[in-house]
Amino acid sequence: MSDSLLAALTAAVGPAHVLSDPELRAGYERDWTGRWRGDALAVVRPADTAQVSAVLTACAAHDAVIVPQGGNTGLVGGGVPRPGGRQVVLSSARLNRVGEVARASAQLSAGAGVTLATAQRAARDAGLELGLDLAARDSATLGGLAACDAGGLRALRHGTARRQVAGLEAVLADGSVIRRMSGLLKDNAGYDLTGLLVGSEGTLGVITAVRWSLIARRDARAVALVALDSIAEAVTLMRTLRPALPSLEVCELMGRTGIRLTLAHLGEASPLPDCAAAVLLECAATSDPLDELATALDAAGAGERAVVAADASGRERLLRLREAHTDAVAAAGVPHKLDVGIPLERLAEFADRLDGVVADAAPGSRLVVWGHLGDGNLHVNVLGPAPGEDAVDARVLELAVACGGTVSAEHGIGVHKVAALRLSRSAAELHAMRAVKRALDPTGILNPGVGLDPRDGVTDVIPATGGCDIS
């Protein structure tokens, strides 16, 4: 690294928080799956918003670019440096102050580096809770969750991060700070810059703080696991149950391969008979939802195929089967992870066609599918192909789009799906996105290589599907 950049970064954040030694940098330079990695000139850990701004200014002055990183739990390579390039990783780890819980508005203010688990505890201590949860809760940060518009297990009921972020503070490419942290439920003074930054994967600004909407605490929970003969049956069950169960907030799908792999990984016996697919349901309410859940399952004709748990240990055991899928797959190799969203009407068709597509593109590979059934969000994991062999990725994403879906439901585009973005977005949309990117980051200092294709003129794209002209 040039001495002058090092000096500028050191001036910005202090010598203890500029990591230039390769050993110290290593954990920031690769993602946890091992699929994405690169080299950074340095990792910097600013302590506050002014330091973040100073880091951006220093990088701009020394021709380096910024890779913002939260908990490094992303799955599309957007939070680690790319191979080559003058990159500085900006870690939010020290932006970790938990602010007040505003009870009147039911909102939590927190630094971008506060982990989801920490925020969940703060909310619960105040008699409230977050509407967002996912397995990476101990590492994933609120800033990262906002930047990637995370979804997770409870989006069915509470929406994704976009719906929950009541405001944020961010440093823009020019080092200026935008701030909307008053938490007003209604604020129509100007464009929704907050919403634009949510889901922009660090390419439009570095989020430094968030104000997160909380929900009423519901401590009464019931969980059911239902054995089914097909994914089509699972979709039908979900569509039957949902209107009958206002307390439903988790509706997850698991396929046979994933269930077997995960049970073996956990060393546990199956709570269900062997089945092609299983659906995990969780209801949450202020009073015990077990009867409501059991009645709805009976009415749907699924009561006899369900295991139900209301006590904490029973619930945890059932939930663990779903949550441990990620670890079980990671333990089996470096997976290709494709995160797609499919309209419910065509989800079973997608699943049916997926086997053939994967077998054709990656012969001998192992296909593991699970996901957030209620959202039409499937996580397609393929074990076998080397990390750089992308053929199966492209084919799976093409199939998703052919079924009216999106190439990214909740993981984002990162570096992984840059070429695939044009499958889901029309030339007009890509052109508009590129114009927005150029407007807010004219020199391309923020997370270059993530999200949009580096080619400036977007031409020769495949028309987007899934639209409907209703007017």
d(CA 298, CA 289): 14
Q: Does 348 bind a second copy (CB under 8 A)?
A: no
Residue 290 or 378: the one with the smaller Cβ distance to a second copy is 378
Q: Residue 243 or 273: which CB sits closer to a second copy?
A: 243
Give residues 74-103 in contact with a second copy (rule: CB under 8 A).
95, 97, 99
Q: Judged by CB, which is closer to a second copy: 26, or 184?
A: 184
Closest CB 238 distance from a second copy, rounded Å: 9
DSSP element (H, E) containing 438:
helix 427-440
Q: What string of DSSP letters covers 300-320?
A: TT-GGGEEEE-SHHHHHHHHH
User: In degrees rounded to 5, what are phi and psi of residue 380?
Assistant: -100, 115
For residues 95 and 143, what is the distance between their CA atoms, to the nearest angstrom? 9
Q: Does 144 bind a second copy (CB under 8 A)?
A: no
Number of helical (H) and strand (E) elements in the chain, helices listed first: 17, 17
Window 353-392: contact mask with a second copy (x via CB under 8 A) = -------------------x-xxxx---------------
Note whether 445 binds a second copy by CB under 8 A. Answer: no
Backbone angles phi, psi at 254, to 5 degrees: -135, 140
Binders of a second copy among residues 155 to 174 (CB under 8 A) are 155-156, 159-160, 162-163, 169, 172
> Quick one: 80 or 413, whose CB is closer to a second copy?
413
Region 188-247 residues binding a second copy, contact defined as CB under 8 A: 188-193, 195-196, 198-200, 204, 208-209, 211, 216, 239, 243, 246
DSSP string, 108-124: EEEETT-BHHHHHHHHH
How many CB atoms within 10 Å of residue 120?
A: 17
Measured from the CB atom, the residue of 170 and 329 that comes closer to a second copy is: 170
- What's the min distance (Å) between Cβ of 155 and a second copy? 6
Number of residues that bind a second copy (CB under 8 A): 103
**Of how many residues is the chain composed?**
471
Among 7, 386, 432, 462, binds a second copy (CB under 8 A): 432
The stretch among 54-62, 66-74, 259-267, 420-428 that binds a second copy (CB under 8 A) is 420-428
- Of the residues 126, 263, 436, 461, which one makes contact with a second copy according to CB under 8 A: 436
Pairing of strands 336-341, 18-19: unpaired
Cα 118 from chain centre? 18
CB neighbour class for 137 (10 Å; exposed up to 12, middle 13-18, buried from 19): buried
- Binding a second copy (rule: CB under 8 A), the pick from 35, 43, 44, 49 is 49
Smallest distance, a second copy to C-beta of residue 183, A: 7
Complex with a second copy: residue 29 or 149, whichever CB lies closer: 149
At its nearest, how many Å lie between a second copy and the CB of residue 266?
Answer: 27
* DSSP string covering 89-114: EEE-TT---EEEEETTTTEEEEETT-
CB atoms near residue 216 (< 10 Å): 9
Question: Judged by CB under 8 A, which of 73, 326, 406, 447 binds a second copy?
Answer: 406
State which residue, 163 or 256, has the beta carbon closest to a second copy. 163
Q: Return the number of the residue (185 or 269) whose C-beta is nearest a second copy.
A: 185
Binders of a second copy among residues 323 to 342 (CB under 8 A) are: 341-342
Q: Could you please report the per-residue DSSP string of 125-183?
A: HTTEEES---TTTTT-BHHHHHHTT---TTHHHH--HHHHEEEEEEE-TTS-EEEE-S-
Among the residue ranges 11-19, 56-64, 129-137, 409-417, the one whose residues contact a second copy (CB under 8 A): 409-417
Q: Where are the beta strands (DSSP E) in 323-420?
A: 336-341, 366-372, 377-383
Q: How far is the CB of 469 from a second copy (least distance, A)?
A: 6
Distance, CA of 462 to CA of 304 (rounded, Å): 47
Nearest distance from residue 1's CB to a second copy, in Å?
Answer: 26
